[in-house]
């Protein structure tokens, strides 16, 4: 199973392609031959997700 998809063409035909300088994983897409780091998409976290308990007070 491969849950990583290309961020450009959404293809699942991607493979791990080493790391970038800050240690994050890099992938390459065989369909469009672009490199991308899927971890960057997880950077966005809303305040509600970070602190769901804050609304209780
Ligand atoms: Zn692609």
The model scores a pTM over 0.75: no
Q: pLDDT in tens for each of the 57 residues of the chain?
A: 558 899 999 999 999 999 888 888 899 999 999 999 886 555 555 666 676 676 666
How far is the centre of ligand 1, averaged over its atoms, from the C-alpha of 45 (Å)?
25
The answer to whether 28 and 35 have CB atoms below 8 angstroms apart is: yes
- According to the model, what pLDDT value does residue 50 have? 72
Residue 18's DSSP bridge partners are none
Q: Which residues crowd ion ligand 1, with CB under 5 Å?
A: 6, 8-9, 11, 29, 31-32
What is the spatial distance between Cα 49 and Cα 43, in angstroms, rounded to a whole number? Answer: 12
What is the spatial distance between Cα 24 and Cα 41, in angstroms, rounded to a whole number? Answer: 12
How far is the centre of ligand 1, averaged over its atoms, from the C-alpha of 49 (Å)?
29
Where exactly are the structural domains of the chain?
Answer: 14-56
- According to the model, what pLDDT value does residue 38 have? 80
How far is the centre of ligand 1, averaged over its atoms, from the C-alpha of 14 (Å)?
8
């Amino acid at each position: 199973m491969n849950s990583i998809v290309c961020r450009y063409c959404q293809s699942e035909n991607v493979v791990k392609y080493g790391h970038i300088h800050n240690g994050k994983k890099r992938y390459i897409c065989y369909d469009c031959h672009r490199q991308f780091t899927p971890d960057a998409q997880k950077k966005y976290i809303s305040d509600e997700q970070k602190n769901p308990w804050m609304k209780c007070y």
